Amino acid sequence: MSASTPQFKVFSGTNSRYLAEKICKSLNTPLGIMNIEHFADGEFAVSYEESIRGQYIYLIQSTFPNSDNLMELLLMIDAAKRASAYKIIAVIPYFGWARQDRKDKPRVSIGAKLIADLLSVAGVDRVITMDLHADQIQGFFDVPVDHLYASRIFVPYIESLKLDNLVIASPDVGGSKRAGTYSRFLDVPMVLCHKTREKANVVGEMRIIGDVEGKDVIIVDDMVDTAGTLCMAADLMMSNGAKSVRAIVTHGVMSGKASERIMNSALTEIAFTDSIPFDCNKCSKVKVLSCADTFADTIERVQAHRSISEQYIIR
């Protein structure tokens, strides 16, 4: 950082501290001191234990389950605003509720828009996030959104595998744009999985559109929750003659029996970022790649008023 760069401090919510510490190490700055006091009924209160008056404040917190992570972030923003911070930037590696981005049936909430409104009302000035479930969620905010792409992390990983018969796959039609960008950049074919759902997290039927025989397949997706779709796709591709199947997924939510499903599936390996904490001892097929340097670089660019898009490999 140059001498003319405005002062900034980085703080973290409880469950994203592991990532905040990595980001601060990359930035060569200490993690700010903050206290979260819990009461007997489950309520909690946030307080900053150092002055933040007139400074840029970066609050690192993924809003993965449970809802306490979101509530912590809202209170952190409110406390920073009341402590006269100059700018409050929410760094949300994993933006929860992003699957609720539209009315896909009557009388349902649009959770992503509600969360965007809550953050704005709390007093956030900017949001930095990565691989939203749908790009249009950026438009739900009335403040600037820096939308990062995990391709900067995953492309070098894919290239390091040195696969001769590489094919990029999308586990559903909705992810075809994301898979298509990898396919074009790497100059390899792409295949799609067409699925129908019986209900949320339950896949009814799936079929492959494209040729995977004798190919090394890499499935690309933004998140893995129960891993039902991903494992079904991997098993189906192997039964259709694929040589191997791997997956790269930005956010490893890994709910319920996801680890068990992946261990019992045809997947050779699954790689995801550390936007959400995961214990690799739960599943030996999981490889975690850190996104800390990506967020640290973005913070530096925001502070220096430099372009964010320069760091993108593919979008």
- Pairwise CA distance, residues 146 & 140, whole Å: 13
Instruction: Kindly name the residue from 9, 22, 105, 195 that is annotated as catalytic.
Output: 195
State how far the Cα of 255 lies from the Cα of 157, in Å rounded to an integer. Answer: 25
The number of helices, as runs of H, and strands, as runs of E, in the chain is 8, 14
Alpha-carbon separation of residue 165 from 48, 173, 211, 241, 244 (angstroms): 53, 23, 12, 13, 10
Q: And the tokens for 77? A: 């923003």
d(CA 273, CA 279): 12
Which residues neighbour 106 within 8 Å (Cβ) at sequence distance 6 or greater?
none
Ramachandran class of 295: left when φ > 0, alpha when ψ lies in -120 to 50, beta otherwise: alpha
How would you list the strands of the sheet with 87-92, edge to edge?
8-12, 56-60, 87-92, 126-130, 145-148
User: What whole-number distance in Å separates Cα of residue 197 and Cα of residue 174?
Assistant: 13
Residue at 261: amino acid letter: R
What distance in Å separates the CA atoms of residue 150 and residue 314, rounded to the nearest whole number?
A: 9
Quickly list H helices, the chain. 17-27, 68-82, 111-122, 151-161, 176-186, 228-239, 258-263, 292-303
Q: Give catalytic status of residue 195 as yes or no.
A: yes
Catalytic residues: 195
